[in-house]
Amino acid sequence: MDKVKAFLNSVKDLPAFPKSAIEFMKLSKDPKTSLNDIGKFISKDTTLSTKILKLANSPFYNRGREIKSINQAVVLLGLDIIKGIVLSLSIIRMFPLRVGGREFDRTLFWDHSVASAFIARKLSKEFSLWDPEEAYTAALIHDIGKLLYNQFFPDDYTRVVKRALSENKRYIEIEKEEFGYTHAEFGFKIAEKWNLPIELKEAIRYHHKLEEEAKNKLLVAIVGFSNIFSKQIGYNFPWEFEPLVLSENVFWQEMVKHNPKLKNIDEAFFTFEMREMKEKIEALIKESLEG
């Protein structure tokens, strides 16, 4: 427990939150940003450009003609997809694969995060709940505390996972016992050090427990719901599956308060959407994690 406190007090080893991701978030939030501006931003970064062209030409994103330039990729893939790709690539490649606890599969970790991000954006956009890109980003990084636990405390983390698999106790309660903080609390503390915007900090902090004090309750609800929903479709670690009952889910209720139309849809709505997204998500993670 004291180890984690000491880590938080020094954090000399803490990886920086990618500057390019922060810059891109600002750019994509600005209504004056044109497709051309996005293209220019991507072209500044060679690795990013190469990865985007590779994805844009992969069968999961492209069934038509060959895409030869970033501008073409932006136009043909559309702003939503391109924004998601740039953000995911900028963040995921800053936390590359490293040998941590054996139980922690980073591909699965990012599959879960990106799946949650796709769902969060879809909900935000379709039901006019929140800025879709901000919801995407918040969901993408909601579990960052878990990744950092695994990276900096691999042995302790392995113990947490083993306990979660063998004991009849919730995974986050075991985290709290072993580390003093859940991954949500730990992630929040790191996000404070990174000076992330309040919306993102709150989504990280409250995604397992919606608290009254949250100023961005609706965003927290979108992220909290997307987290659980992505687990329903298989993007989850075996030790932390949570069943979803829409009518009893507080995150769901919070979203319905803001848009009652949500009541008319059911799980099949999302499941269908996610089937379409599955290959795109998996190709994106593969490309992000490759050297």
Give the interface with Fe ion as residue ranges (CB under 5 A): 143, 227
- Nearest distance from residue 186's CB to Fe ion, in Å? 11
DSSP-derived secondary structure letter, 246:
G
The DSSP secondary structure of 120-164, one letter per residue, reads HHHHHHHTT-S-HHHHHHHHHTTTHHHHHHHHH-HHHHHHHHHHH
The answer to whether 256 touches 263, Cβ cutoff 8 Å, is yes
* Closer residue to Fe ion (CB): 70 or 160: 160
Q: Which residue has tokens 């004056």?
A: 32
* Closer residue to Fe ion (CB): 124 or 230: 230
* Closer residue to Fe ion (CB): 143 or 178: 143
The answer to whether 289 touches 97, Cβ cutoff 8 Å, is yes
- Nearest distance from residue 254's CB to Fe ion, in Å? 17
DSSP-derived secondary structure letter, 118:
H
Using the CB atoms, write b or e for 187-203: b if 16+ within 10 Å: bbbbbeebebbebbbbb
- Nearest distance from residue 153's CB to Fe ion, in Å? 17
- Nearest distance from residue 117's CB to Fe ion, in Å? 11
The answer to whether 189 touches 108, Cβ cutoff 8 Å, is no
- Nearest distance from residue 154's CB to Fe ion, in Å? 18
* Closer residue to Fe ion (CB): 169 or 261: 169
* Closer residue to Fe ion (CB): 143 or 156: 143
Neighbouring C-alpha atoms within 13 Å toward the C-beta of 243: 3
* Closer residue to Fe ion (CB): 124 or 227: 227
DSSP-derived secondary structure letter, 16:
P
* Closer residue to Fe ion (CB): 93 or 183: 183
- Nearest distance from residue 179's CB to Fe ion, in Å? 14
Pick from 4, 2, 21: which is nearest to 185 by CA? 4
The residue nearest Fe ion at its CB is: 227
- Nearest distance from residue 12's CB to Fe ion, in Å? 26
The DSSP secondary structure of 167-189, one letter per residue, reads SSS-HHHHHHHHHSS-HHHHHHH
